[in-house]
């Protein structure tokens, strides 16, 4: 089985374990089996709205193994980054949750209530209660020269009802108003992954996520193996089109695939094969012998397309032609 080659899983949450308050099918059982396989587990989340303790409690309510010490979030990472930039005692406008404010206070920084308080810095993290006035205050302060830290820049967040705007969308609003670019603390920066692996004393961690631009890019930057699951944001087609830095090592339907053997993807003649599927690149055409509902067909397609575009700096635009098994 795939997980046998690793000593830890560093798992994203939204879109991998749950969507909104409810668990994704098969996720809880899969996480519960890791300990029996001798594999450690930590959670890496860009959602800065809740404390590690609250996240762990939610996971335990769903039936997943979790403690606060194994939840690594962008609120803490953002506060650490901010403290390093402005030093102890600096005035900070907190645009985010109560927990983010607590993190700022814990680093010896002083929260203020408005841009008129002349903050030295602004820290911005996700909170569903944020409104226009909060973004306006952040914009006023950033425009006056305040250091700006974003806990994360995920444009979207999976919810039970569908896909909703994430912190990155709110950060873009401030960026559009000010022309400024924030320092970013969470994924895809590697620090959260490194902190988790060090805490677990893991030598061979596997990063699992549903987003190329945060989970997979961050895991790749950290130097770890990466696996994308198709239970959240990205799709097989977006993975196929990914730029080099965001390409995962493994394509999984969901977390249950951790316990299945990962099929070999092999060069065959001018193309690539995975299971019964074959893929061949002919110029800008990608021909796939297989069915689009068969993940092996996408695995073969990715190998063929990525081989033909090995160092793509931006997304490519493949149009795969499936001919059926």
pLDDT tens over the chain, length 325 residues: 999 999 999 999 999 999 888 999 999 999 999 999 999 999 999 989 999 999 999 999 999 999 999 999 999 999 999 999 999 999 999 999 999 999 999 999 999 999 999 999 999 999 999 999 999 999 999 999 999 999 999 998 878 788 899 999 999 999 999 999 999 999 999 999 999 999 999 999 999 999 999 999 999 999 999 999 999 999 999 999 999 999 999 999 999 999 999 999 999 988 999 999 999 998 889 999 999 999 999 999 999 999 999 999 988 889 899 997 5
Instruction: Give Cα separations from 302 to 90, 212, 259, 273, 281 (angstroms).
Output: 48, 14, 22, 10, 10
Give the residue among 243, 303, 249 at the shortest CA–CA distance from 272.
303
Query: What pLDDT sits at residue 291?
Result: 95
The answer to whether 201 and 207 have CB atoms below 8 angstroms apart is no
Let me know if 143 is exposed, middle or buried by CB neighbors in 10 A (0-12, 13-18, 19+). Answer: middle
Q: What pLDDT is recorded for position 324? A: 74
Distance CA 133, CA 112 (A): 15
Can you give the pLDDT at residue 325?
Answer: 54
Report d(CA 191, CA 76) in Å as an integer.
11
pLDDT at 158: 79
- State how far the Cα of 274 lies from the Cα of 109, in Å rounded to an integer: 54
Predicted TM-score (pTM) of this structure: 0.90
Q: Evaluate the omega torsion of the peptide bond into residue 188 and state whether it is cis, within 30 degrees of 0.
A: yes
- In the prediction, which pLDDT does 130 show? 95
| Among 100, 85, 114, residue whose Cα is nearest residue 50 | 100
Give me the pLDDT at residue 270, please.
87
Supply the pLDDT for residue 317.
86
d(CA 82, CA 69): 22
State the pLDDT at residue 159.
81
- What is the per-residue pLDDT for 21? 84
Task: Supply the residues annotated as catalytic.
Answer: 12, 14
Specify burial of residue 113 (Cβ count, 10 A radius: 0-12, 13-18, 19+).
exposed
Tell me how far CA of residue 159 lies from CA of 39, 55, 134, 166, in angstroms.
29, 16, 23, 10
């Amino acid at each position: 089985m795939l997980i046998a080659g690793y000593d830890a899983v560093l798992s994203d949450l939204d879109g991998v374990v749950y969507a909104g308050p409810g668990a994704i099918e098969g996720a809880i059982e899969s996480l519960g089996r890791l300990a029996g396989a001798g594999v450690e587990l930590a959670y890496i989340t860009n959602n800065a709205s809740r404390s590690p303790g609250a996240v762990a409690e939610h996971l335990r309510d769903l039936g997943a193994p979790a403690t606060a010490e194994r939840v690594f979030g962008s609120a803490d990472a953002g506060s650490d980054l901010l403290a390093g930039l402005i030093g102890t005692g600096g005035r900070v406008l907190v645009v985010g949750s109560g927990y983010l404010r607590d993190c700022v206070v814990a680093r010896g920084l002083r929260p203020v209530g408005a841009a008129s308080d002349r903050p030295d810095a602004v820290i911005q993290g996700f909170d569903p209660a944020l409104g226009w006035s909060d973004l306006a205050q952040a914009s006023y302060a950033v425009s006056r020269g305040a250091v700006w830290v974003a806990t994360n820049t995920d444009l979207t967040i999976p919810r039970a009802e569908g896909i909703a705007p994430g912190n990155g969308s709110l950060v873009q609003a401030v960026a559009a108003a000010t022309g400024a670019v924030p320092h970013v603390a969470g994924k895809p920066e590697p620090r959260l992954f490194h902190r988790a692996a060090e805490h677990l004393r893991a030598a061979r961690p596997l990063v699992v996520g549903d987003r190329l631009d945060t989970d997979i890019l961050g895991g790749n930057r950290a130097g770890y193996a990466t696996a994308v699951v198709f239970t959240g944001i990205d799709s097989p087609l977006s993975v196929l089109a990914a730029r080099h830095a965001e390409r995962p090592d493994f394509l999984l339907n969901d977390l249950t695939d951790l316990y299945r053997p990962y099929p070999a993807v092999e060069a065959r003649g001018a193309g690539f094969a995975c299971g019964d599927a074959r893929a061949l690149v002919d110029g800008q055409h990608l021909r796939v012998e297989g069915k689009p509902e068969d993940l092996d067909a996408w695995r073969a397609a990715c190998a063929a397309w990525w081989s033909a575009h090995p160092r793509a700096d931006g997304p490519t635009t493949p149009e795969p032609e499936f001919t059926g098994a």
